[in-house]
Amino acid sequence: MRKTPGAGSTSGRRGRIRMLVGAACGTVLLAAATMTVTDAHAHADTTLSRPVITTNQTGTHDGYFYAFWQDTGDAALTLGPHGHYSARWSGVNNWFGGKGWATGGRRTFDYCGTFHPGGDSYLALLGFTREPYIEYYILENWGSYRPTGTRMGAVVSADGTYDIYRVQRIGTPGSTPYHQYFSVRQQKRSGGTINTGEHFDAWARVGMDLGSTMGYMIMATEGYQSSGWSDITVESAATRPPRCTTGPPSTP
Give catalytic residues, as residue numbers: 135, 222
Cis preceding linkage at 132, omega within 30: yes
9 - beta bridge partners?
169
* CA atoms of 56 and 118, how far apart (whole Å): 22
For 122-170, what is the HEC assignment?
EEEEEEEEECCCEEEEEEEEECCCCCCCEEEEEEEECCEEEEEEEEEEC
* CA atoms of 204 and 216, how far apart (whole Å): 20
Neighbours of 144 (CB within 10 A): 12
Q: Is 237 helix (H, G, I), strand (E, B) or coil?
A: coil
Measured CA angle at 240 (ends 68, 38), to 5 deg = 30
143 in Cβ contact with 155 (< 8 Å): no
* CA atoms of 128 and 50, how far apart (whole Å): 27
* CA atoms of 181 and 1, how far apart (whole Å): 10
